[in-house]
Amino acid sequence: MSVPEIEEINKSAEFFAKLKRIKINGKAIETPRKVISSSNNKYSENLVINNQEIKGMSEIFRKLDKPTLTSMKQYSAIERDVLNSLIKPVEQSYSPSNINYFLLRYDTRTDTEIKLKSRTSQVPNDEETRFLLDILTHRYNDFLIPPIMPYLTGDQIITFLNSFFELNSSFRNKTIAGLVPSTLSRDDQLKIIEFYI
């Protein structure tokens, strides 16, 4: 796993902020920095904003749900279509000079749970996790962020993260950035922070 280089440039007592230069995969940005939304939509910030001083970091957001993933296992044509819908826009909106990262929201609920508007769900199994890793370790992704899974509890997320990072060892080597869901209780957030540390 590559380790990003972080250099402190300046401290601002006026704004209680530290300016830092971050280098990852041969690319560098200075923080704090606005993250630019990147998609193949002609109105995407990545395509509309021309000021290079603003650019530098691109977020590529995608959604996936369990019913779609389940249907992919049964029909290879569906799998190809779903993979194309997830990856093709990434390739079209990729900015080689920016630090690019994927943010994937994975709804772990089944069809029945979705119809019943359930607010709880199950931890993804190893097969689902491998598929998620296959997307998140794509060559255009500069670092690995675990998926957002809004219907899992803090303990379920920790169970998933253990599996996620264990299975990750067989995928492309990516710098890891942790994700702490803001929707969890403070106690659960602290458990996840402790997991990453």
Q: Say if CB 82 and CB 61 are below 8 A apart.
A: no
Question: Which pLDDT band holds residue 6 (cuts at 50, 70, 90)?
Answer: confident
Q: What is the pLDDT of residues 127-175, one digit of tens each?
A: 888 888 888 888 778 888 899 988 888 999 999 999 998 888 877 777 7
Q: Looking at residue 2, what is its pLDDT?
A: 63
> By mean pLDDT, which of 28-32, 37-41, 193-197 is the weakest?
37-41
Q: Residue 65's pLDDT band (boundaries 50, 70, 90)? A: confident
Is the pLDDT score of 17 beyond 80?
A: no
**Residue 143: what are its φ and ψ, rounded to 5°?**
-150, 160
Higher pLDDT, 162 or 84: 162
Copy the structure tokens of residue 68: 């779609």
**What confidence score (pLDDT) does residue 190 get?**
92
Asked whether the predicted pLDDT for residue 72 surpasses 80, the reply is no
Mean pLDDT of 100-105: 83
Which pLDDT score, from 0 to 100, does residue 16 have?
59
pLDDT higher at 124 or 169: 124
Measured distance CA(161)–CA(181) in Å, rounded: 13
Q: What is the mean pLDDT of residues 21-28?
A: 77
If one compares 83 and 71, the residue with the highest pLDDT of the two is 71
Characterize the bridge pairing of strands 36-37 and 17-24.
unpaired
Q: State both tokens at 30.
A: 């200075």
pLDDT in the model for residue 160 = 93
